[in-house]
Amino acid sequence: MKHFPHRIFRRSLVAVAAIALVTPILTAVVPIAAEARSAPCTHTTRGAHAPVINVAAGQKECLRHANQTGAINVASTGSLLIVHSVVTGAITMSSGFNTFKSCASTLLGGITASGGTGAVRLGGSTRACRGNKLATVTLTSNQGGLTLSHNRISDSVTANTNQVRTIIKANKIAKDLTCNDNSPAPKHKHHRNTVGGARPGNQCLGRF
């Protein structure tokens, strides 16, 4: 019994050391979780809308149950969210744009998204984000992760030199699927794509 206080002291030291190790980890995780939350919309379009939408730097345009016939142009540091909407005009995300997400929508004018700094997500299989009907899709040099999932695509898809993570899965692509120099290489997460055309490039080959 006379060694019992020493055991308590040693256990106390272990507990203090464990708290010291965990605390910086927790403080590092909290900002990451906060950054992952979606930024609020600075403007929302609903219903029929014909004019071109130009999203300025630092702004976030949201289309909800909208029918947009004009083009959509997003400037550097701007963001775009499209949900349950139809867009006839072309969508152009300029180099340096922040985030781009589209769920359960029909985008007929083609998509060009290049040089984004945040996440790009087009479609999915969850209740929160279903797949889209898309035309031509060009996704290049995006730096924040890319997901192209469960979409019906009437034209070709090009995904080149994207960084961090590139997921291309369960899409029905009528024409070509071109993938080059993405790092790391694209993954289909055991949900292969159906491709009606060729698969040029150095990735997304075979039964991808």
Query: Per residue in 32-51, pLDDT tens?
Result: 333 346 789 999 999 999 99
List the chain pLDDT tens, one digit each, 208 residues: 444 444 544 554 444 344 444 333 333 333 333 334 678 999 999 999 999 999 999 999 999 999 999 999 999 999 999 999 999 999 999 999 999 999 999 999 999 999 999 999 999 999 999 999 999 999 999 999 999 999 999 999 999 999 999 999 999 999 999 999 999 999 999 999 999 999 999 999 998 9
H helix and E strand count, the chain: 1, 22
Evaluate the omega torsion of the peptide bond into residue 184 and state whether it is cis, within 30 degrees of 0. yes
Residues 6+ apart with CB under 8 A from 109: 71, 87, 88, 89, 90, 91, 135
pLDDT 10s digits, 110-149:
999 999 999 999 999 999 999 999 999 999 999 999 999 9
The residue ranges of every structural domain in the chain are: 1-37, 43-195
Cα-based angle 172, 128, 153 (whole degrees, multiple of 5): 15
Provide the residue type at 185 as one letter: A
- Name the CA dihedral angle for 60, 63, 67, 68, rounded to a multiple of 10 degrees: 10
Measured between alpha carbons, how far is 161 from 50 in angstroms, rounded to an integer? 34
Give the count of alpha carbons within 13 A of 100, CB side only: 31
